[in-house]
Structure 1
Amino acid sequence: MADGRDLPATPEFVAACWTSAGDVMPLRGPDTSPLDVRTRIEAVARAGYTGFGLTHADLLVARETVGLPTVAQLLRDHGITTVQLERVVDWWTTGERKERSDALRQDLFDACAVLGVDNIKIGGDDDGEPVTYDALCAGFDALADAGREAGVRIAYENTPFSPPPIRTTEQAIDLVTDVGNANGGLMLDVWHAYRGGTPYDNLLRLAPERLFGVELDDGAAEVVGTQIEDTFDNRLFCGTGDFDVVSFVAVVRRLGWDGVWGIEHMSETDRKRPVETVLREAREAAALCIAQADERNAA
């Protein structure tokens, strides 16, 4: 690269939770994958990934069926070195909502030491209930502290359909920067950056140490249905849509990212196809975009 950094010869990838879950989507009836955790881990490894993601619901199923020590052994046996769990909301609230949020996060925390979790993804609420910026800052700081005690990093992922004051990636950058907790950072997803109208050069506002993960996908310029429906149903393989993933990756590289890349593929069409096929095609498409971005930066 032009800045002289040595990059991995072959990028490594995390299959974010929905990428290997098969024919299931959040907020649509059952929230657990029809595939057992062993099948998913095997498919992810055969498709060339070194990272694996699980939702809270699927973590509980795995815990109650095969047990977390067995899941940890499966991950080791299949060369999975990065584990990601999700998703905590309501961490800024009080009362019963906070109690439910704390119970969910404790399930995730309890799994961290067993599975060797790298980060837990969190986000804003999707029901549109307003919240103050100060409350979000205080809640994020407290959750990052709790994560440190549990031995796991907390990664905030913005969504354009969350209520104000944080929808855009710029606003999420402000949050992790203003809080300044070393254990709290940003999960940067090209989908949410594009849908939120973020010029990719604006990502350079983020301090490199606050970047905890990057997720790749692609999509059409126009939203189909609601923002949340579009997010769940219409993602495309990298390089096949309008998001200019190569330019996004080039900027992220300039920011200093040389870690594992997340693939978060959520497609109404592809979730009915064989999971391993979709995993492989998604990884290959992302790897091509990364290679093109690195070539551009090196020129």
Structure 2
Amino acid sequence: MTADEFLATCWTTAGDAAPDEEDQRSPLDLRERVEAARQSGFTAFGLLYADLVEAERAYGMAGIRSLFADNGINHVELELLTDWWADGPRRAASDEIRTGMLKALETLGARTFKIGPDVADEPWELDVWAKEFAVLTAQADGVGARLGVEPLPWSNLKTVHDGLRLVEAAGHPAGGLVIDVWHTERAHTPPAELAEVPGSRIVGVELNDADSDVVGTLFEDTVHRRRLCGEGSFDLPGAIVALRTAGFHGPWGVEILSDAHRALPVREAAAAAYRSAAALVN
């Protein structure tokens, strides 16, 4: 049996950058981030598209590919497309980013294309969303990647069940879910229900931890107060067993978002994230 592999999701190595900032770009050079991840033990790497655009200016796409290859990174994840269901100016802006992301996925040989739901939780129609999801999934499949949507408890896809309903309605085999245990815990989805998700529909998993009490809004809590795996209240061993039962084989994403994590030098942050997750998975 091969050893479990781990993916440093984009925020885990981003340094002083966060999803609630207007400018979400990492202040760190991509080389520093990738080397920190690899030296910690990660063999897979997640990147925000805005950071990829910056890195391309410095290294070119060929240089980025070499950077990943030289550091043993064999699985690349790119995020996060939103408004893929919208129309008007929002859709036009989203489509421009979509085009760039699809091109980058193909050029880098990236395997995971991560998208978000509607965090405004506006009324939506399943058949419309399923059609849009199917089109985007086919585009991702066409460049060799799988499409994963991440349910968020404050969005229109609040649970893995909501997400799975969309994915199954779309029907494309390359589409599925990114299951973040922070969101499943805060959505009150017990680990036993994760075991019932078809393994073929699990595109990615993200591990982390948190205190039992939510401070502020769910979004504020998830951005500022996550904890390292094993340092909070989540039933991570139960979730890991359930996801294995469902058929997930990795790489296991580790997504740590917190003020404390952002304040650490990137090598310390990456090492702590890897060490705490590996202690539970292996």
Provide the secondary structure at the position in 2 that maps to 1:117.
coil
Residue equivalent to 2:54? 61
**204, 208, 211: which one pairs with 2:202?**
211
> CA offsets, 1:47-85, max 9 Å, x none?
110011111110110112221110100100010001000
Q: Does 1:92 align with 2:92?
A: no
Mapped partners of 1:79, 1:24: distance in 2: 25
- Counterpart of 2:250 in structure 1: which amino acid? G
Q: Does 1:199 align with 2:190?
A: yes
Mapped partners of 2:237, 2:170: distance in 1: 31
Alpha-carbon shift at residue 204 of structure 1 (Å): 2.8
Deviates more, 1:203-212 or 1:138-147: 203-212
**94, 104, 123: which one pairs with 2:97?**
104
Please say if residues 84 and 117 of structure 1, whose CA atoms lie closer than 8 Å, have aligned partners that are also in contact: yes
Mapped partners of 2:196, 2:82: distance in 1: 25
After TM superposition, the runs of 4+ consecutive aligned structure 1 residues lying more than 3 A away are: none
- Counterpart of 1:255 in structure 2: which amino acid? A
Residue equivalent to 1:268? 259
Please say if residues 152 and 183 of structure 2, whose CA atoms lie closer than 8 Å, have aligned partners that are also in contact: yes
Residue equivalent to 2:139? 146
Mapped partners of 2:163, 2:146: distance in 1: 16
Mapped partners of 2:91, 2:26: distance in 1: 26
Residue equivalent to 1:183? 174
Mapped partners of 1:235, 1:51: distance in 2: 21
Residue equivalent to 1:252? 243
Provide the secondary structure at the position in 1 that maps to 2:195.
helix
Mapped partners of 2:209, 2:176: distance in 1: 23
Mapped partners of 1:86, 1:149: distance in 2: 17
Mapped partners of 1:67, 1:218: distance in 2: 36
> CA offsets, 1:166-193, max 9 Å, x none?
2112211222223221111111111111
Residue equivalent to 2:75? 82
> CA offsets, 1:2-23, max 9 Å, x none?
xxxxx43x32111000000001
Alpha-carbon shift at residue 155 of structure 1 (Å): 0.6
Provide the secondary structure at the position in 2 that maps to 1:205.
coil
- Counterpart of 1:245 in structure 2: which amino acid? L
Mapped partners of 2:248, 2:122: distance in 1: 34
Deviates more, 1:282-291 or 1:69-78: 282-291
- Counterpart of 1:96 in structure 2: which amino acid? P
Provide the secondary structure at the position in 1 that maps to 2:107.
helix
- Counterpart of 2:233 in structure 1: which amino acid? D
Alpha-carbon shift at residue 29 of structure 1 (Å): 3.6
Please say if residues 217 and 238 of structure 1, whose CA atoms lie closer than 8 Å, have aligned partners that are also in contact: yes
Residue equivalent to 1:125? 118
Within a 5 Å distance, the mapping from 1:158-177 to structure 2 comes to: 158-162=151-155, 164=156, 166-177=157-168
Alpha-carbon shift at residue 285 of structure 1 (Å): 1.1
Mapped partners of 2:20, 2:56: distance in 1: 22
Mapped partners of 1:27, 1:221: distance in 2: 22
Unmatched runs of 5 consecutive residues or more in structure 2? none
- Counterpart of 2:102 in structure 1: which amino acid? F
Provide the secondary structure at the position in 1 that maps to 2:111.
strand
Tell me the TM-score normalized by structure 2. 0.96
Residue equivalent to 1:288? 279
Please say if residues 194 and 239 of structure 2, whose CA atoms lie closer than 8 Å, have aligned partners that are also in contact: no
Unmatched runs of 5 consecutive residues or more in structure 1? 1-6, 292-299
Residue equivalent to 2:6? 13
**How many pairs align?**
282
Alpha-carbon shift at residue 27 of structure 1 (Å): 2.6
Please say if residues 216 and 264 of structure 1, whose CA atoms lie closer than 8 Å, have aligned partners that are also in contact: yes
Tell me the TM-score normalized by structure 1. 0.91
Give the aligned CA root-mean-square deviation in angstroms: 1.3
